Structure 1
Amino acid sequence: MKRMFKFAPVLAPLALAFSSTVSANGLGLTGPQDFIVRAGGYYISAGDDKVSFVDDTFENFDGFRSTVDPGSEWGWYLNLEWQPIEHWGIELGYMDGDNHTSTHADDFFSLDLDDLEDVEYRDVARFDADITTLSLKFYPLDESCLVQPYVGGGISYTHFGERGPNNIVQDDLAEFGLRGDFDLGSSWGYTWQAGVDFNFGHDSAWLLNFAAVYTRATTDMRLQLFDDVPPPADVEPIFESYSGDYIYDPWMLNLSVGYKFSF
């Protein structure tokens, strides 16, 4: 049920595409339609992003700059593609992320918001990212070819889970009698990809797939600081709260095995 919930934001437009094309033969869909299921693994590499955090309460006009630099990780990949007509496919994909962590570089924060280039900061957050994509794909070659390259693009939905500050950040905050919490909001974005299917034979339904996929999402990242000792019930527990815009734009290299069938 949890995995189906993550697919929900993109299932609606896919269902609409099915209902509008299958019920009406405007595309000439009079015969069996081809489907491909692919499953495999992927390597994900996300670029770093310097985030300017500002005070949420506006009581203190301060802020700081830090880096969110997700480490490269491995994960698993699943997609279902519908090919209503020759050369075109509609793909619903899901990439289950591993926990991004990184501990390199010098400092965690800079209080100078104008300092953009000269200092490299350590990553302050850990999180995983589960990505769902809906893409329109184009295959330029005749469908009888055993090698089928393609390009595609569409929309993506990124759900951030298992999020929080790095353990080292938590330890540093504890020295000041504080504890921290990181939160990232789920986000819509866009995706594009290029790949190739290697069919095992003209009479075989099996294929091997290799693809490079790019997604981009902009989300709000919030850092909240709490007193290490809970305050009385009538006192606001948040010591301070900061937020900033974060761009998550990973590259993924996918390797999967596929199976093609028709209805």
Structure 2
Amino acid sequence: MLKFSPILAPLALALSSTVSAGPLGLTGPQDFIVRAGGSYIAPGKDRVSFVDDTFQHFDAFRSTIDPDSEWGWSINFEWKPIEHWGIELGYMDGDKHSSSHADRYFSLGFDDFEYRDVVSYEADISTASLKFYPLDETCLVQPYIGGGISYTDFSVGSLNRVLREDLAEFGLRGDFDLGSSWGYNWQAGVDFNFGRDSSWLVNVAAVYSRAMTDMRLQLFDDVPPPRNVEPILESYSGDYIYDPWTFNLSVGYKFSF
């Protein structure tokens, strides 16, 4: 299900208001492009230092975060007010990053014992970019570069079954959560037009999004405590650098007003 992040709603409203007001004194037709297709999202590997948030045990450990790459889908809407320049709003929705396609995803090392593949999560990326097209608009092949801001929303974080079962043997249960992240993005791509009079095109693009988020693991008593008693036994958190590369293959449609 499509979830609009904080970056899209106000920018889309501003964009529609600007177009209706006749920006930059433009009175002729203005081009718009809608693209939709598949995405391959490749997150970064990171070594995260976790510390105890409760300051009760002063524990600390380091863990390897090595997500597998996943397929997803993407959609973007672009406005080209003048030749060579475009303003794009994009959204990329990836499948759940889990351990099914990776040898090591999230490893927790305690003494001589190591947990592997213990968490999974989803990440949705929204972008707002300014793009530059170096070639004349009559060219059938239109390469471009661009950059702007990005917003990454992490959701559906959960502990995997093996770790939940191990915690249950000690009378514990756990919770896993990630925050959201504002950052920047860089991208490069090419539009392949079917013809000078055709409205259809094929797009390939590579997008880098900067995303760093707070990753938190919490341990609870398996039996809920009495009311007004803090249920958290321990809470560990660390900064995780997600920084994915996303490779898009999409079909686009051009139109003018």
Alignment TM-score, normalising by the size of structure 1: 0.89
- In the other structure, the counterpart of 1:49 is 46
Rate the CA distance shift 1:204–1:107 in 2: closer, same or farther, 3 A: closer
Deviations 1:173-193 (A, max 9, x none): 222221111111111111111
Measure, in 1, the Cα distance between the counterparts of 2:73 and 2:196: 28
- In the other structure, the counterpart of 1:117 is none
- In the other structure, the counterpart of 1:242 is 236
- In the other structure, the counterpart of 1:115 is none
* Counterpart contact for 1:46–1:248, Cα < 8 Å: yes
- In the other structure, the counterpart of 1:173 is 167
Tell me, which stretches of 5 or more residues in structure 2 are unaligned? none
> Which residue identity does 1:227 align to in structure 2?
D
* Counterpart contact for 2:66–2:106, Cα < 8 Å: no
Matches within 5 A, 1:80-91: 80-91=77-88
> Which residue identity does 1:196 align to in structure 2?
V
Deviations 1:114-172 (A, max 9, x none): xxxxxx97344210001110010000000000000001111111111111122222222
- In the other structure, the counterpart of 1:157 is 151
Deviation for aligned residue 1:22: 5.1
More deviation, 77-86/164-173: 164-173
More deviation, 162-171/240-249: 162-171
Tell me, which stretches of 5 or more residues in structure 1 are unaligned? 113-119
Select the residue among 64, 67, 76 that pairs with 1:67.
64
- In the other structure, the counterpart of 2:187 is 193
Alignment TM-score, normalising by the size of structure 2: 0.91
Deviation for aligned residue 1:20: 4.9
Deviations 1:87-125 (A, max 9, x none): 00001001112100126249832359xxxxxxx973442
- In the other structure, the counterpart of 1:37 is 34
> Which residue identity does 2:185 align to in structure 1?
T
Secondary structure, aligned partner of 1:3 = coil
Identity between Structure 1 and Structure 2 (%)? 69
- In the other structure, the counterpart of 2:107 is 108
* Counterpart contact for 1:49–1:69, Cα < 8 Å: yes
CA RMSD of aligned residues (A): 2.2
Deviation for aligned residue 1:64: 1.4
Which runs of structure 1 show a deviation greater than 6 angstroms over 4 or more consecutive aligned residues? none
> Which residue identity does 2:98 align to in structure 1?
T
* Counterpart contact for 1:70–1:123, Cα < 8 Å: no
Select the residue among 245, 248, 251 that pairs with 1:251.
245
Task: Give the count of matched residue pairs.
Answer: 253
